[in-house]
């Protein structure tokens, strides 16, 4: 059994693909999830939460090929929170999702699936070791 998280947001940067030592493709990108509200006195508020997303194997290849900065997606996967200290000594947190499925929600690019849904192959064997990134966009 595993936990599952679903986010809908926009890519904050173009995906980057790399390969593990055994040749397994891994694609990483960030997703901004915005929440907007209006207070009882009519003031508007907005908060953006950034997620780092990693896709493995065929899902990595597909997302790298079709996704670009700004594209709206739905990501389904497992989330992990990590705390770290930035270069300037500030306490920071990072939310990282290992994607099991990615759905392309708005225009741009082609797809090989009628519904735009892609899921990972053999995702139960996926493993993810987070990379430390102190230059997160938040």
Q: What is the pLDDT of residues 30-84, one digit of tens each?
A: 999 999 999 999 999 999 999 999 999 999 999 999 999 999 999 999 999 999 8
The per-residue pLDDT for 1 is 63
Domains of the chain: 5-36+45-125 (2.40.50.140)
Determine the Cα–Cα distance for residues 23 and 94; give it in Å rounded to an integer: 27
Q: What is the pLDDT of residues 72-114, one digit of tens each?
A: 999 999 999 999 898 999 988 889 999 999 999 975 443 333 3
Percent of the chain with pLDDT over 70: 76
The per-residue pLDDT for 123 is 38
The per-residue pLDDT for 136 is 37
Determine the Cα–Cα distance for residues 54 and 52; give it in Å rounded to an integer: 7
Dig out the tokens for 8 from the structure: 């809908």
pTM score, two decimals? Answer: 0.72
The per-residue pLDDT for 110 is 35
């Amino acid at each position: 059994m595993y936990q599952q998280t679903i986010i809908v947001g926009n890519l904050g940067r173009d995906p980057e693909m790399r390969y593990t030592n055994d040749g397994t493709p891994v694609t990483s990108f960030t997703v901004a999830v915005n929440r907007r509200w209006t207070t009882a006195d009519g003031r508007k508020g907005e908060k953006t939460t950034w997620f780092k997303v990693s896709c493995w194997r065929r899902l990595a290849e597909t997302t790298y090929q079709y996704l670009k900065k700004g594209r709206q997606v739905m990501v389904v996967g497992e989330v992990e929170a990590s705390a770290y200290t930035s270069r300037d000594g500030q306490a920071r947190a990072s939310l990282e999702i290992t994607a099991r499925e990615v759905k392309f929600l708005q225009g741009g690019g082609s797809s090989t699936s009628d519904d735009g849904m892609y899921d990972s192959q053999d995702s139960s064997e996926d493993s993810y070791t987070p990379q430390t990134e102190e230059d997160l966009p938040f």
